[in-house]
Structure 1
Amino acid sequence: MNLRDKIVLITGASRGIGAEMARRFAAEGSFVVVNYLKNQALAESVVNEIESLGGQAAAIQADVTNRNQVNEMMEQIIDSLGAIDVVVNNALSHYTFNPKTRKTAWEIDWEDYNQQWKGSVQGAFNICKAAMPHMKNQMSGRIINMVSNLIDFPIVPYHDYTTAKMALLGFTRNLAQELGTFGINVNAVSPGLTYPTDSSQETKEEVRDAIMQLTPLRRLARPEDIAGSVLFLASDLSSFITGQCLNVDGGLVMK
């Protein structure tokens, strides 16, 4: 896939899908920056695992919703590594996919929307804003934003989460339109319910079973399914793809 020696930043990469992406990019020969918010030990364990297998990685702490911290992280990457080739906006505000504890349309507050907006959209905005000047100078780059198949099929109406992810898709397509002239591809990956992850731990078994029955491939997504799709969009195999949203949900959403 020609990802060797690429400099890849993955936000929220200390666990779950992000950690799996980090391992997969490193296995392809990329240098992976494992961004994390709080859990340094977990992030460093991902780095240690990658290095034990002969890969290259480093953990950098930054709150993606904090513009100054993001800029400092990007400066550190450029000063140390000289480039930024791939950005995967995977970080988000904490969320639990539990239909029994979600807020209904008549219970939810605007602050709930704002919290998800900050994690999904503001975080991606800050990262892209910091990375774009370097990608423009290089005349190349890949930006991949993580959305959700709930934007197309809200099988459970997680209002705040889904609304923020839909906004992130709009952000993705606007960037794709304007950055294409600089050789920068911008796409989104839209996972179905992915298990196991922290967010899906509280999803009841009957809910998981119902989703599997509706899914043509009759299972839930796994972290490695999502990671493989992200690697594809980061690679030369997708060089003529931009502004797209790739559903990775076993066919639950078909377009």
Structure 2
Amino acid sequence: MDLGLEGRVALVTGSSQGIGRATAELLGREGARVVVTYRNHRDKAEAVAATIREQGGDALVVFFDLASDDSIRAAAAAALERWGRIDVLVNNAVQWGSVAPGSAPPFEALPGDEWRKVLRANIEGAYAAIQAVVPSMRERRWGRIVNVSSGLAVNGMPGSSAYSAAKSALHGLTRSLFKELAPAGILTNVVMAGLTLTDHARDAIPAAMLDHVAQSSPIKRLPTPAEVATTIAFLASAANTTVNGEILLSSGGHA
């Protein structure tokens, strides 16, 4: 299937690794010019860009911090300066904060600053990224926005209250924007990933827990980043002409 991405410009946030990396590389193979972003791992982002170029595509590496509106606007400005347009936004970057869910204090002891930091970065960062790219999409009366969410938005997890709340808010934002932006030719959707077999998951989660989740899934395994990326790429493409305002689970049926 031709996804109709040849020559289009895609900004993929958090694309130095994991689902973001797989998405950036897939969009590059489909002919999109890709803005690869990073916050902590420029070397990994450069490796993603190199892979895209080796496949015959074009890529630009830029710094991107969800907690900084200035960095978000600068990333969009860099894309516009390089290519004069932004057609696709994949809001994939996340920030967990300084306390991992497994070692988080009881909710009543969670510091307000920590709550606000995680909540604001993960929802206000997505808001700022969308706001930065929409003018270019409106100008051409075509755009695709894919907000990457998590099963935690609906299932929750002890210690993840701020992150889960932010992802739930992302669903509400999408459900409003899809109606507001559609008349301008801009489709907005959510891909809700479950536990995905990323390098980070392998490093951070005990193998026994990964196996338990895999066996509780209808497909009896965990999806790979590349598999989630195919769902994102379709929604981000010209092949998608009618899917709008949807929250799609891309996990094999296990949130």
TM-score by length of 2: 0.91
1:163 to 2:165 alignment:
yes
Q: For the residues of structure 1 that align with 2:93 and 2:36, how far apart are their CA atoms?
A: 11
| Amino acid in the other structure paired with 1:23 | E
CA contact (8 A) 2:98 2:114 kept: no
1:142 to 2:133 alignment:
no
Q: Which secondary structure does the structure 2 equivalent of 1:88 belong to?
A: strand
Identity %: 30
Unmatched tracts of structure 2, length 5 or more? none
CA contact (8 A) 2:39 2:65 kept: yes
| Amino acid in the other structure paired with 1:69 | S
1:31 to 2:33 alignment:
yes
Q: Which secondary structure does the structure 2 equivalent of 1:83 belong to?
A: coil
CA contact (8 A) 2:86 2:136 kept: yes
Decide which of 238, 241, 249 is 1:239's aligned counterpart.
241
| Amino acid in the other structure paired with 2:143 | G
| Amino acid in the other structure paired with 1:192 | G
CA contact (8 A) 1:21 1:230 kept: yes
Q: Which secondary structure does the structure 2 equivalent of 1:152 belong to?
A: helix
1:21 to 2:9 alignment:
no
Distance 1:81 1:140, change over 3 A: same
Distance 1:172 1:214, change over 3 A: same
Unmatched tracts of structure 1, length 5 or more? none
TM-score by length of 1: 0.91
Structure 1 equivalent of residue 85 of structure 2: 83
* Per-residue deviation, 1:190: 0.3
Q: For the residues of structure 1 that align with 2:99 and 2:202, how far apart are their CA atoms?
A: 6
CA contact (8 A) 1:136 1:182 kept: yes
Q: Which secondary structure does the structure 1 equivalent of 2:204 belong to?
A: coil
CA contact (8 A) 2:19 2:198 kept: no
Distance 1:88 1:31, change over 3 A: same
1:126-159 Cα shifts (integer Å, max 9, x gaps): 1111111111111110011111112223365622
* Per-residue deviation, 1:98: 6.8
Distance 1:73 1:155, change over 3 A: closer
1:125 to 2:127 alignment:
yes
Please give the root-mean-square deviation of Cα atoms over the aligned residues, in Å.
2.1
Q: How many pairs does the alignment contain?
A: 253
